[in-house]
Amino acid sequence: MEKIVLPEIENFHQIDVYVEQGGYKAAKKAFEQSSDDIIDQVKKSGLRGRGGAAFSAGLKWSFMPKTTDKPKYLCVNGDESEPGSFKDRQIFEDNPHQLIEGTLITCYAIGAKVAYVYIRGEYHKWIKLMQKAINDAYEKGFVGEGMKETFGTNFYCDIYIHKGAGAYICGEESSLMNSLEGKRGYPRIKPPFPAQNGLWGNPTTINNIETITNIPKIIENGWEWFAAIGEPKHPGTILFGVSGHVNKPGIYELPSGTLLTDIIYNYAGGVPGNKKILCVIPGGSSMPPLRGDQIEGVKMDAESLKEVGSAIGTAGIMVMDEDTDLVKVLARITQFYHHESCGLCTPCREGTGWMEKVLNRILNDEGSYGDLDLLISIANNIEGNTICALGEAAAWPVRYMITRFRDYFEERVKKEVMITVKNKVHSMRQTAFPLDDITD
Protein backbone atom coordinates (compact mmCIF):
# COMPACT_ATOMS: atom_id res chain seq x y z
CA MET A 1 0.00 0.00 0.00
CA GLU A 2 1.31 3.44 -0.93
CA LYS A 3 1.69 5.75 2.03
CA ILE A 4 0.26 9.15 1.22
CA VAL A 5 1.15 11.28 4.22
CA LEU A 6 4.30 9.63 5.60
CA PRO A 7 6.07 7.94 2.68
CA GLU A 8 9.12 5.92 3.66
CA ILE A 9 11.68 7.97 1.73
CA GLU A 10 15.00 8.83 3.33
CA ASN A 11 15.48 12.53 4.11
CA PHE A 12 12.07 13.36 2.63
CA HIS A 13 11.91 16.39 4.92
CA GLN A 14 14.69 18.05 2.94
CA ILE A 15 13.46 20.29 0.14
CA ASP A 16 15.91 18.97 -2.47
CA VAL A 17 14.84 15.38 -1.83
CA TYR A 18 11.18 16.39 -1.88
CA VAL A 19 11.60 18.14 -5.24
CA GLU A 20 13.54 15.16 -6.66
CA GLN A 21 10.56 12.97 -5.75
CA GLY A 22 8.17 15.19 -7.70
CA GLY A 23 7.42 17.70 -4.98
CA TYR A 24 5.60 20.94 -5.84
CA LYS A 25 4.52 19.57 -9.24
CA ALA A 26 0.98 19.10 -7.90
CA ALA A 27 0.89 22.82 -7.03
CA LYS A 28 1.88 23.74 -10.58
CA LYS A 29 -0.79 21.38 -11.92
CA ALA A 30 -3.38 22.97 -9.61
CA PHE A 31 -2.49 26.53 -10.63
CA GLU A 32 -3.21 25.64 -14.26
CA GLN A 33 -6.82 24.83 -13.33
CA SER A 34 -9.62 26.94 -11.92
CA SER A 35 -10.21 27.15 -8.20
CA ASP A 36 -13.66 25.61 -8.69
CA ASP A 37 -12.07 22.61 -10.40
CA ILE A 38 -9.75 22.05 -7.44
CA ILE A 39 -12.60 22.28 -4.93
CA ASP A 40 -14.66 19.88 -7.04
CA GLN A 41 -11.83 17.32 -7.14
CA VAL A 42 -11.35 17.46 -3.37
CA LYS A 43 -15.12 17.04 -2.89
CA LYS A 44 -15.24 14.02 -5.20
CA SER A 45 -12.20 12.46 -3.52
CA GLY A 46 -14.23 12.12 -0.32
CA LEU A 47 -11.43 13.58 1.82
CA ARG A 48 -12.76 14.20 5.31
CA GLY A 49 -11.15 16.24 8.04
CA ARG A 50 -8.57 14.41 10.13
CA GLY A 51 -8.82 16.75 13.10
CA GLY A 52 -11.77 15.09 14.80
CA ALA A 53 -15.06 16.08 13.13
CA ALA A 54 -14.45 14.14 9.87
CA PHE A 55 -16.25 16.84 7.86
CA SER A 56 -15.88 16.97 4.07
CA ALA A 57 -12.83 19.12 3.25
CA GLY A 58 -14.04 20.11 -0.22
CA LEU A 59 -17.47 21.06 1.10
CA LYS A 60 -15.88 23.25 3.77
CA TRP A 61 -13.81 25.00 1.09
CA SER A 62 -16.93 25.68 -0.97
CA PHE A 63 -18.40 27.74 1.88
CA MET A 64 -15.89 30.52 1.21
CA PRO A 65 -17.62 33.43 -0.56
CA LYS A 66 -16.66 33.90 -4.22
CA THR A 67 -17.52 37.58 -4.52
CA THR A 68 -16.00 39.63 -1.73
CA ASP A 69 -13.44 42.40 -1.45
CA LYS A 70 -12.35 41.19 1.97
CA PRO A 71 -9.06 39.32 2.36
CA LYS A 72 -9.40 35.57 2.90
CA TYR A 73 -7.34 33.43 5.25
CA LEU A 74 -6.40 29.80 5.74
CA CYS A 75 -5.62 28.45 9.21
CA VAL A 76 -3.87 25.08 9.35
CA ASN A 77 -4.57 23.59 12.76
CA GLY A 78 -1.57 21.90 14.34
CA ASP A 79 -2.51 22.56 17.95
CA GLU A 80 -2.77 18.79 18.62
CA SER A 81 -3.53 19.00 22.33
CA GLU A 82 -5.83 15.96 22.46
CA PRO A 83 -4.36 13.38 24.88
CA GLY A 84 -3.52 10.29 22.85
CA SER A 85 -2.93 12.24 19.62
CA PHE A 86 0.62 12.72 18.31
CA LYS A 87 0.35 12.41 14.52
CA ASP A 88 0.77 16.03 13.36
CA ARG A 89 4.24 16.35 14.82
CA GLN A 90 5.29 13.38 12.69
CA ILE A 91 4.30 15.38 9.59
CA PHE A 92 6.24 18.43 10.80
CA GLU A 93 9.29 16.22 11.22
CA ASP A 94 9.12 13.86 8.24
CA ASN A 95 7.03 15.54 5.52
CA PRO A 96 6.78 19.32 6.02
CA HIS A 97 6.99 20.22 2.33
CA GLN A 98 3.94 18.18 1.36
CA LEU A 99 2.09 20.12 4.06
CA ILE A 100 3.42 23.39 2.59
CA GLU A 101 2.42 22.33 -0.93
CA GLY A 102 -1.04 21.35 0.29
CA THR A 103 -1.32 24.76 1.95
CA LEU A 104 -0.48 26.51 -1.33
CA ILE A 105 -3.10 24.52 -3.24
CA THR A 106 -5.73 25.13 -0.57
CA CYS A 107 -5.03 28.87 -0.54
CA TYR A 108 -5.40 28.94 -4.33
CA ALA A 109 -8.69 27.02 -4.17
CA ILE A 110 -10.30 29.29 -1.57
CA GLY A 111 -8.68 32.54 -2.77
CA ALA A 112 -6.52 33.16 0.31
CA LYS A 113 -3.29 35.13 0.14
CA VAL A 114 -2.17 34.33 3.69
CA ALA A 115 -2.00 31.05 5.60
CA TYR A 116 -1.24 30.58 9.29
CA VAL A 117 0.09 27.28 10.58
CA TYR A 118 -0.98 27.19 14.23
CA ILE A 119 1.26 24.89 16.30
CA ARG A 120 0.95 24.12 20.00
CA GLY A 121 3.50 25.92 22.13
CA GLU A 122 5.09 22.78 23.62
CA TYR A 123 6.21 21.63 20.17
CA HIS A 124 9.49 23.60 20.28
CA LYS A 125 11.42 21.09 18.20
CA TRP A 126 8.74 20.75 15.56
CA ILE A 127 8.14 24.49 15.31
CA LYS A 128 11.82 24.94 14.46
CA LEU A 129 11.71 22.12 11.90
CA MET A 130 8.60 23.54 10.26
CA GLN A 131 10.03 27.06 10.17
CA LYS A 132 13.19 25.71 8.52
CA ALA A 133 11.07 24.02 5.83
CA ILE A 134 9.09 27.22 5.19
CA ASN A 135 12.30 29.26 4.96
CA ASP A 136 13.71 26.78 2.44
CA ALA A 137 10.50 26.96 0.39
CA TYR A 138 10.69 30.77 0.31
CA GLU A 139 14.33 30.62 -0.74
CA LYS A 140 13.49 28.26 -3.64
CA GLY A 141 10.58 30.42 -4.77
CA PHE A 142 7.85 27.95 -3.82
CA VAL A 143 6.21 30.35 -1.33
CA GLY A 144 5.66 34.10 -1.50
CA GLU A 145 6.05 36.38 -4.50
CA GLY A 146 8.68 34.06 -5.97
CA MET A 147 5.80 31.73 -6.86
CA LYS A 148 4.96 33.95 -9.82
CA GLU A 149 8.22 33.12 -11.55
CA THR A 150 8.52 29.54 -10.26
CA PHE A 151 5.04 28.45 -11.28
CA GLY A 152 4.34 30.97 -14.04
CA THR A 153 1.22 32.26 -12.31
CA ASN A 154 -0.15 35.53 -10.96
CA PHE A 155 -1.15 33.81 -7.74
CA TYR A 156 1.04 33.81 -4.69
CA CYS A 157 0.56 33.47 -0.94
CA ASP A 158 2.54 33.76 2.28
CA ILE A 159 2.76 31.20 5.09
CA TYR A 160 3.38 32.09 8.74
CA ILE A 161 3.79 29.93 11.82
CA HIS A 162 1.85 31.01 14.89
CA LYS A 163 2.95 29.41 18.14
CA GLY A 164 0.19 28.75 20.66
CA ALA A 165 0.59 28.80 24.41
CA GLY A 166 -0.40 25.22 25.09
CA ALA A 167 -4.15 25.67 25.61
CA TYR A 168 -6.34 22.70 24.63
CA ILE A 169 -9.25 25.04 23.88
CA CYS A 170 -7.28 26.56 20.99
CA GLY A 171 -7.69 23.34 19.05
CA GLU A 172 -11.31 24.49 18.59
CA GLU A 173 -11.39 26.56 15.42
CA SER A 174 -12.94 29.77 16.74
CA SER A 175 -10.71 29.75 19.85
CA LEU A 176 -7.75 29.25 17.53
CA MET A 177 -8.77 32.36 15.59
CA ASN A 178 -9.12 34.40 18.80
CA SER A 179 -5.64 33.26 19.81
CA LEU A 180 -4.26 34.29 16.42
CA GLU A 181 -5.80 37.71 16.89
CA GLY A 182 -4.01 38.09 20.21
CA LYS A 183 -7.12 37.55 22.30
CA ARG A 184 -7.87 35.04 25.01
CA GLY A 185 -8.70 31.59 23.61
CA TYR A 186 -12.46 31.73 24.07
CA PRO A 187 -14.77 30.02 21.56
CA ARG A 188 -17.15 32.11 19.49
CA ILE A 189 -20.87 31.61 19.17
CA LYS A 190 -21.91 30.30 15.73
CA PRO A 191 -23.35 31.53 13.45
CA PRO A 192 -21.64 33.45 11.97
CA PHE A 193 -19.28 30.71 10.82
CA PRO A 194 -15.59 31.29 9.98
CA ALA A 195 -16.23 31.25 6.22
CA GLN A 196 -18.34 34.38 6.68
CA ASN A 197 -16.74 35.98 9.73
CA GLY A 198 -13.38 34.54 10.71
CA LEU A 199 -9.99 36.14 11.36
CA TRP A 200 -10.42 39.87 11.96
CA GLY A 201 -13.97 39.55 10.63
CA ASN A 202 -12.82 38.15 7.27
CA PRO A 203 -13.65 34.86 5.50
CA THR A 204 -11.50 32.05 6.92
CA THR A 205 -11.11 28.31 6.41
CA ILE A 206 -9.62 26.06 9.11
CA ASN A 207 -8.27 22.59 8.33
CA ASN A 208 -6.16 20.07 10.22
CA ILE A 209 -2.49 19.42 9.37
CA GLU A 210 -3.07 15.85 8.19
CA THR A 211 -6.04 16.92 6.06
CA ILE A 212 -4.01 19.52 4.15
CA THR A 213 -1.07 17.12 3.67
CA ASN A 214 -3.32 14.81 1.62
CA ILE A 215 -4.14 17.51 -0.96
CA PRO A 216 -1.07 17.34 -3.24
CA LYS A 217 -1.49 13.58 -3.79
CA ILE A 218 -5.17 14.01 -4.64
CA ILE A 219 -4.31 16.60 -7.29
CA GLU A 220 -1.35 14.58 -8.57
CA ASN A 221 -3.06 11.17 -8.81
CA GLY A 222 -6.69 12.20 -9.29
CA TRP A 223 -9.69 12.05 -7.02
CA GLU A 224 -10.69 8.58 -8.27
CA TRP A 225 -7.40 7.15 -7.00
CA PHE A 226 -7.91 8.60 -3.52
CA ALA A 227 -11.58 7.64 -3.33
CA ALA A 228 -10.69 3.99 -4.01
CA ILE A 229 -8.50 3.71 -0.89
CA GLY A 230 -10.12 2.32 2.26
CA GLU A 231 -13.78 2.80 3.12
CA PRO A 232 -15.92 4.49 0.43
CA LYS A 233 -17.61 6.87 2.89
CA HIS A 234 -14.34 7.82 4.58
CA PRO A 235 -11.62 7.17 2.00
CA GLY A 236 -7.86 7.54 2.10
CA THR A 237 -5.24 6.55 4.62
CA ILE A 238 -5.33 7.61 8.26
CA LEU A 239 -2.47 8.18 10.68
CA PHE A 240 -3.32 5.96 13.63
CA GLY A 241 -1.44 6.90 16.80
CA VAL A 242 -1.34 3.80 19.00
CA SER A 243 -0.38 4.18 22.65
CA GLY A 244 -0.93 2.48 25.99
CA HIS A 245 -0.47 -1.23 26.61
CA VAL A 246 0.98 -2.35 23.28
CA ASN A 247 4.42 -3.71 22.44
CA LYS A 248 5.09 -1.28 19.59
CA PRO A 249 3.41 2.09 20.20
CA GLY A 250 3.71 4.63 17.40
CA ILE A 251 2.19 6.09 14.25
CA TYR A 252 0.81 3.70 11.62
CA GLU A 253 -0.49 4.96 8.29
CA LEU A 254 -3.14 2.53 7.10
CA PRO A 255 -6.24 2.59 4.89
CA SER A 256 -9.41 3.77 6.59
CA GLY A 257 -11.57 0.84 7.65
CA THR A 258 -8.62 -1.24 8.91
CA LEU A 259 -9.77 -3.54 11.70
CA LEU A 260 -9.01 -2.21 15.18
CA THR A 261 -7.76 -5.65 16.22
CA ASP A 262 -5.39 -5.76 13.23
CA ILE A 263 -3.91 -2.41 14.23
CA ILE A 264 -3.39 -3.55 17.82
CA TYR A 265 -2.13 -7.07 17.21
CA ASN A 266 -0.60 -7.07 13.69
CA TYR A 267 0.95 -3.61 13.60
CA ALA A 268 1.39 -2.53 17.24
CA GLY A 269 2.64 -5.96 18.30
CA GLY A 270 -0.18 -6.91 20.65
CA VAL A 271 -0.48 -6.46 24.41
CA PRO A 272 2.57 -7.05 26.65
CA GLY A 273 2.37 -10.40 28.44
CA ASN A 274 -0.53 -11.42 26.19
CA LYS A 275 -2.91 -9.90 28.68
CA LYS A 276 -6.56 -9.34 27.79
CA ILE A 277 -7.73 -5.92 26.68
CA LEU A 278 -10.06 -4.24 29.14
CA CYS A 279 -10.75 -0.99 27.30
CA VAL A 280 -9.84 0.84 24.09
CA ILE A 281 -10.38 4.53 23.36
CA PRO A 282 -10.31 4.66 19.53
CA GLY A 283 -9.90 8.36 18.74
CA GLY A 284 -8.17 10.28 21.50
CA SER A 285 -9.21 10.75 25.12
CA SER A 286 -12.46 12.60 24.39
CA MET A 287 -14.02 9.81 22.33
CA PRO A 288 -16.41 7.22 23.86
CA PRO A 289 -14.42 4.14 25.00
CA LEU A 290 -15.09 0.59 23.86
CA ARG A 291 -15.05 -2.55 26.00
CA GLY A 292 -12.23 -4.93 25.21
CA ASP A 293 -14.68 -7.79 24.68
CA GLN A 294 -16.55 -5.78 22.04
CA ILE A 295 -13.74 -4.69 19.67
CA GLU A 296 -13.73 -7.77 17.44
CA GLY A 297 -14.78 -6.78 13.93
CA VAL A 298 -14.71 -3.02 14.65
CA LYS A 299 -13.34 -1.05 11.68
CA MET A 300 -11.47 2.21 12.08
CA ASP A 301 -13.40 4.76 10.05
CA ALA A 302 -15.96 7.41 10.94
CA GLU A 303 -19.09 5.54 9.90
CA SER A 304 -18.10 2.16 11.35
CA LEU A 305 -17.19 3.62 14.73
CA LYS A 306 -20.42 5.59 14.81
CA GLU A 307 -22.30 2.30 14.45
CA VAL A 308 -20.65 0.91 17.61
CA GLY A 309 -21.22 4.08 19.61
CA SER A 310 -17.87 5.83 19.33
CA ALA A 311 -16.04 8.15 16.91
CA ILE A 312 -12.79 8.32 14.93
CA GLY A 313 -11.70 11.64 16.46
CA THR A 314 -7.97 12.11 15.90
CA ALA A 315 -7.47 8.33 15.47
CA GLY A 316 -5.44 8.20 18.68
CA ILE A 317 -5.93 4.59 19.81
CA MET A 318 -5.39 4.17 23.56
CA VAL A 319 -5.17 0.52 24.66
CA MET A 320 -5.67 -0.56 28.29
CA ASP A 321 -5.05 -4.10 29.52
CA GLU A 322 -6.97 -6.11 32.12
CA ASP A 323 -4.94 -4.75 35.03
CA THR A 324 -5.78 -1.11 34.29
CA ASP A 325 -7.49 0.92 37.00
CA LEU A 326 -10.30 2.53 34.96
CA VAL A 327 -11.34 4.77 37.84
CA LYS A 328 -7.84 6.22 37.93
CA VAL A 329 -7.82 6.60 34.13
CA LEU A 330 -11.17 8.37 34.09
CA ALA A 331 -10.22 10.63 36.99
CA ARG A 332 -7.04 11.65 35.14
CA ILE A 333 -8.90 12.35 31.91
CA THR A 334 -11.49 14.39 33.77
CA GLN A 335 -8.78 16.34 35.58
CA PHE A 336 -7.35 17.29 32.19
CA TYR A 337 -10.65 18.63 30.85
CA HIS A 338 -11.36 20.47 34.11
CA HIS A 339 -7.94 22.11 33.88
CA GLU A 340 -8.34 22.95 30.18
CA SER A 341 -11.89 24.31 30.35
CA CYS A 342 -11.74 27.98 29.40
CA GLY A 343 -14.50 28.73 31.90
CA LEU A 344 -16.73 30.64 29.51
CA CYS A 345 -19.74 28.29 29.76
CA THR A 346 -21.16 27.50 33.20
CA PRO A 347 -22.00 23.81 32.53
CA CYS A 348 -18.41 23.08 31.50
CA ARG A 349 -16.73 25.37 34.03
CA GLU A 350 -18.66 23.94 36.99
CA GLY A 351 -19.45 20.47 35.69
CA THR A 352 -15.89 19.40 34.90
CA GLY A 353 -14.72 20.28 38.40
CA TRP A 354 -17.70 18.56 39.96
CA MET A 355 -17.03 15.36 38.01
CA GLU A 356 -13.39 15.43 39.05
CA LYS A 357 -14.33 15.74 42.73
CA VAL A 358 -16.79 12.85 42.56
CA LEU A 359 -14.31 10.61 40.71
CA ASN A 360 -11.60 11.39 43.26
CA ARG A 361 -14.07 10.41 45.97
CA ILE A 362 -14.55 7.03 44.29
CA LEU A 363 -10.81 6.70 43.78
CA ASN A 364 -10.33 7.19 47.54
CA ASP A 365 -12.87 4.42 48.28
CA GLU A 366 -15.43 6.95 49.54
CA GLY A 367 -17.86 6.77 46.65
CA SER A 368 -21.42 5.52 46.61
CA TYR A 369 -23.82 3.98 44.12
CA GLY A 370 -25.47 7.35 43.91
CA ASP A 371 -22.19 8.91 42.77
CA LEU A 372 -22.27 6.84 39.57
CA ASP A 373 -25.71 8.14 38.64
CA LEU A 374 -24.65 11.63 39.70
CA LEU A 375 -21.67 11.52 37.32
CA ILE A 376 -23.88 10.47 34.43
CA SER A 377 -26.35 13.22 35.29
CA ILE A 378 -23.62 15.87 35.35
CA ALA A 379 -22.22 14.64 32.03
CA ASN A 380 -25.67 14.73 30.45
CA ASN A 381 -26.15 18.31 31.62
CA ILE A 382 -22.81 19.40 30.16
CA GLU A 383 -23.25 17.75 26.76
CA GLY A 384 -24.99 19.98 24.24
CA ASN A 385 -25.07 22.98 26.56
CA THR A 386 -21.75 24.65 25.78
CA ILE A 387 -20.58 26.97 23.00
CA CYS A 388 -17.87 24.61 21.80
CA ALA A 389 -17.28 20.85 21.83
CA LEU A 390 -15.04 20.84 24.90
CA GLY A 391 -18.21 20.13 26.85
CA GLU A 392 -18.75 16.93 24.90
CA ALA A 393 -15.05 16.10 25.16
CA ALA A 394 -15.32 16.20 28.96
CA ALA A 395 -18.73 14.53 29.20
CA TRP A 396 -18.36 11.59 26.82
CA PRO A 397 -15.51 9.77 28.62
CA VAL A 398 -17.40 9.95 31.92
CA ARG A 399 -20.82 8.97 30.62
CA TYR A 400 -19.69 6.16 28.35
CA MET A 401 -17.01 4.77 30.65
CA ILE A 402 -19.49 4.41 33.49
CA THR A 403 -22.38 3.08 31.41
CA ARG A 404 -20.21 0.59 29.51
CA PHE A 405 -18.21 -0.53 32.55
CA ARG A 406 -20.97 -0.20 35.12
CA ASP A 407 -20.12 -3.53 36.74
CA TYR A 408 -16.50 -2.45 37.13
CA PHE A 409 -17.41 0.88 38.74
CA GLU A 410 -20.03 -0.66 41.03
CA GLU A 411 -17.32 -2.83 42.55
CA ARG A 412 -15.41 0.32 43.49
CA VAL A 413 -18.18 2.05 45.46
CA LYS A 414 -19.84 1.41 48.80
CA LYS A 415 -22.93 -0.75 48.77
CA GLU A 416 -25.74 1.46 49.98
CA VAL A 417 -29.25 2.48 49.04
CA MET A 418 -30.72 5.93 48.44
CA ILE A 419 -33.80 6.85 50.46
CA THR A 420 -35.79 9.98 49.71
CA VAL A 421 -36.33 12.02 52.87
CA LYS A 422 -39.23 14.48 52.72
CA ASN A 423 -39.41 17.95 54.27
CA LYS A 424 -35.70 18.65 54.06
CA VAL A 425 -33.79 21.28 52.17
CA HIS A 426 -33.06 20.37 48.58
CA SER A 427 -29.39 19.53 49.18
CA MET A 428 -30.32 16.88 51.79
CA ARG A 429 -33.26 15.15 50.13
CA GLN A 430 -31.15 12.27 48.83
CA THR A 431 -29.63 10.63 51.89
CA ALA A 432 -27.34 7.57 51.69
CA PHE A 433 -27.69 4.75 54.23
CA PRO A 434 -25.23 1.80 54.38
CA LEU A 435 -27.10 -1.48 53.94
CA ASP A 436 -25.78 -2.75 57.27
CA ASP A 437 -27.52 0.11 59.09
CA ILE A 438 -30.97 -0.71 57.69
CA THR A 439 -33.04 -2.98 59.97
CA ASP A 440 -36.59 -4.22 59.87
Residue-wise pLDDT for 175-192, tens only, equals 999 999 999 999 999 999
d(CA 319, CA 250): 12
> 366: buried, middle or exposed (CB in 10 Å: 19+, 13-18, 0-12)?
exposed
CA atoms 229, 310, 282, 78: torsion sign = positive
3-state secondary structure of 98: helix
- Which domains, and CATH codes, for the chain? 15-228 (3.40.50.11540), 234-321 (3.10.20.600), 326-410 (1.20.1440.230)
Asked if the model's pLDDT at residue 433 lies above 80, the reply is no
pLDDT at 392: 96
3-state secondary structure of 259: strand
pLDDT at 285: 96
175 touches 388 (CB < 8 A): yes
Residue-wise pLDDT for 26-59, tens only, equals 999 999 999 999 999 999 999 999 998 899 999 9
Q: Alpha helix (H) ranges present in 233-386? A: 260-262, 302-307, 326-340, 346-363, 369-382
Residue-wise pLDDT for 349-378, tens only, equals 999 999 999 999 999 999 998 999 999 999
pLDDT at 418: 55
Residue-wise pLDDT for 228-268, tens only, equals 999 999 999 999 999 999 999 999 999 999 999 999 999 99
User: b or e along 309-341 (b: 16 or more beta carbons within 10 Å of the residue's beta carbon)?
Assistant: ebbbbbbbbbbbbeebebbebbbebbbbbbebb
Q: Beta strand 114-119 with 158-163: parallel, antiparallel or unpaired?
A: parallel
Residue-wise pLDDT for 286-325, tens only, equals 999 999 999 999 999 999 999 999 999 999 999 999 999 9
Asked if the model's pLDDT at residue 7 lies above 70, the reply is yes
Residue 406: CB atoms within 10 A of its CB come to 12
3-state secondary structure of 77: strand
pLDDT at 363: 95
**Residue 113 host element (H or E):** none
Contacts of 312 (CB under 8 A, 6+ apart): 54, 234, 238, 282, 283, 287, 300, 301, 302, 305
Q: What is the mean pLDDT of residues 412-434?
A: 60
3-state secondary structure of 319: strand
Asked if the model's pLDDT at residue 425 lies above 70, the reply is no
Residue-wise pLDDT for 64-89, tens only, equals 999 899 999 999 999 999 999 999 99
pLDDT at 133: 98
Residue 353: CB atoms within 10 A of its CB come to 17
432 touches 372 (CB < 8 A): no
- Check residue 266 and report its DSSP letter: I
130: nearest Cα among 88, 182, 169: 88
Asked if the model's pLDDT at residue 426 lies above 80, the reply is no
In which band, very low, low, confident or very high, does the pLDDT at 430 lie, cut at 50, 70 and 90?
A: low
3-state secondary structure of 181: coil
pLDDT at 174: 96
Q: What is the mean pLDDT of residues 116-137?
A: 97
pLDDT at 437: 58
Asked if the model's pLDDT at residue 440 lies above 70, the reply is no
